[in-house]
A and B are shown apart, each in its own frame.
Chain A
Amino acid sequence: MNGRIDRSIDLGPYVAAPDDGMIICRCEEVTKGEIRRAVHDGMFTITEIRRYLRTGMGLCQGQTCARLVKQIVAKELDVSPDVLEDAVARAPFRPVPMRVLANEAEGRTR
């Protein structure tokens, strides 16, 4: 979320939902319930959720789940998904073997 957030705002009690067991992050197998719980534990930003639960930190780097996670967090915080800032996009955009990354065919100078 851009702007000021008081982390002590009352979100109400965490109420278990029937679909809490649904896998949201397919790579790291993080469930909807874990994400909802994390919000109640004070993780109010997409980045904090990532660091707390590893959503979007797996092999695909959040390409499938980013939008889904945002919707869940937004609903839990009772805000529009649009106000939640995405996690920072980081290279490499696809998994790259170390041996390939280490092997710069050219251009080692700036």
Chain B
Amino acid sequence: MQQSEVLIIGGGVIGCATAYYLSKRGLSVTVIEKKQIGEGGSSRNGGGVRQSGRDPRELPIAMYAVEHLWPSLSDELEMDVEYYKKGNLRLAKTDAHLKILQGLTDRATALGLDVRMIGADEVKAINPYLSDEVIGASWCPTDGHANPMLTTLAYYRKARRQGVRFITGESAQRIVKQKGRAVAVVTDYDTYYAERILVAAGFESNDLLASVGLFVPMNRILLEALVTEAQPKMFEQMLGTAEADFYGHQSTHGSFVFGGSSGIDAYTSDFDRPVTQGMTAPSICRGIMGYFPVLADAKIVRTWAGWIDECADHVPVISNVDEVPGLTVACAFTGHGFGISPAVGQILTSLMTNETPMVNIDALRYDRFKAKI
């Protein structure tokens, strides 16, 4: 039997960030991770720290993170997480693209985000390497990118230094309820008691939540990304397209990290490993070259795949569970959890210490899912 004030299931960026903020407050925290630190989406995503293009329900979290947390995160964690606040260009090649971007932009400006539509000349001025086919873009100057692997490991490192106990290679199996309250988690090794329990285990959160009768409607979807050899420094913005051909950025290292899809990569017969598919990387490359012909000779050195936990309504569940006091859930980030992870870590800290979070998250409750008719 093991005991701590907080038990976190899942050693991804959400689990590690929350462990860090909780331990900073002096709470004793244990983190149980089935594989290794940052094994899931935390180390496989494209590194976007975006506000633009987000659903209004989670946009305030992203804005909070960009304003208050990301700029000082490297200092706070004593490690360079390679954060760049150099803007996000979402590119358009057709009028239909422009229309999509205009819609996104209108919704974001209504919530106070500084994002606007710009023309071809301004796009070129921001990023001279783009193809002449680009006719416009949405431009959010406060967006950016960071290194997700380093961010996750930086939270982990600092949390570990602050005394958080991390255990990897141990699988949580069920939540123990006593007198109506979540009091412990049984793993394949031991039973861990805690006053508060956070489930932040991505798609697999459902396996654990099932033991207390909960279910978050989400799918597991396979996405791919790739990275090039190091290239001379070209640009610092985060990039995306209206048509979602690809997204990505150039890293501190000089390599380009791009994500994308072939459109049929979600269909795989291997459900044990996130495996890449033969036709996806070529498809991503064609997407990139359509916007960056100058990168045609850049060599791809690595491709990888990862599952996202796609929520039925495309925004996460970040919530205390009313019916099971002591239990908190954070999952279904739908592939855009990394950019908001510092803020989510703080929100979860507030939720588990009975404080009001600095951002309203009522729209992200676990019990919001209803039939459409």
Residues in A lying within 8 Å of B, measured CB to CB: 1-8, 41-45, 47-48, 51-52, 54, 57-59, 61, 88, 90-92, 95-99, 101-104, 108, 110
1/0 contact trace for B263-292 toward A, CB 8 Å? 010000000000010010110011011000
| Shortest beta-carbon distance from A98 to chain B in Å | 5
Give A108 to B356 CA distance when docked, in angstroms: 53
Tell me if A91 and B297 are in contact (CB < 8 A). no
Q: A4-B189, A97-B296 are in contact. Are A51 and B38 (CB under 8 A)?
A: yes
Give A38 to B276 CA distance when docked, in angstroms: 29
Tell me if A102 and B167 are in contact (CB < 8 A). no
Q: A59-B229, A95-B301, A99-B296 are in contact. Are A4 and B170 (CB under 8 A)?
A: yes
Tell me if B303 and A104 are in contact (CB < 8 A). no
A108: chain B residues at CB < 8 Å are: 279, 282
| Shortest beta-carbon distance from A73 to chain B in Å | 13
Tell me if B36 and A48 are in contact (CB < 8 A). yes
Tell me if B149 and A4 are in contact (CB < 8 A). no
Tell me if B36 and A45 are in contact (CB < 8 A). yes
Q: Check: B37 CB closer than 8 A to any chain A CB.
A: yes
Give A103 to B286 CA distance when docked, in angstroms: 8
Q: Check: B166 CB closer than 8 A to any chain A CB.
A: yes
Instruction: Identify A98's interface contact among B189, B285, B304, CB under 8 A.
Output: B285
A61: chain B residues at CB < 8 Å are: 301-302
Q: Check: B176 CB closer than 8 A to any chain A CB.
A: no
Give A61 to B276 CA distance when docked, in angstroms: 17
Give A61 to B304 CA distance when docked, in angstroms: 13
| Shortest beta-carbon distance from A39 to chain B in Å | 12
Interface of B is mostly: mixed
Q: Across the interface, name the chain B residue whose C-beta is closest to A46.
A: B36
B150: chain A residues at CB < 8 Å are: 51-52
Q: Across the interface, name the chain A residue whose C-beta is closest to B190.
A: A4
B276: chain A residues at CB < 8 Å are: 90-91
Tell me if A92 and B37 are in contact (CB < 8 A). no
Q: A3-B169, A4-B168, A48-B37 are in contact. Are A90 and B282 (CB under 8 A)?
A: no
Q: Across the interface, name the chain B residue whose C-beta is closest to A42.
A: B160
Q: Across the interface, name the chain A residue whose C-beta is closest to B37.
A: A48
A-B contacts besides A52-B150, A92-B301, A102-B286, 7 pairs, CB < 8 Å: A48-B37, A51-B43, A52-B153, A58-B229, A95-B299, A97-B300, A98-B285
Q: Across the interface, name the chain B residue whose C-beta is closest to A6.
A: B167
Which residues of chain B from 297 to 316 have a CB within 8 Å of any chain A CB? 297-304
B174: chain A residues at CB < 8 Å are: none
Give A73 to B52 CA distance when docked, in angstroms: 41
Tell me if A4 and B167 are in contact (CB < 8 A). yes
A45: chain B residues at CB < 8 Å are: 36-37, 168
| Shortest beta-carbon distance from B16 to chain A in Å | 11
A-B contact pairs, 25 of them (CB 8 A): A3-B169, A6-B167, A7-B166, A41-B157, A42-B156, A42-B160, A44-B168, A48-B153, A51-B38, A51-B43, A52-B149, A54-B253, A90-B302, A92-B300, A92-B301, A95-B299, A95-B300, A96-B299, A97-B296, A97-B298, A98-B295, A99-B297, A102-B282, A102-B285, A102-B289
Give A101 to B156 CA distance when docked, in angstroms: 36
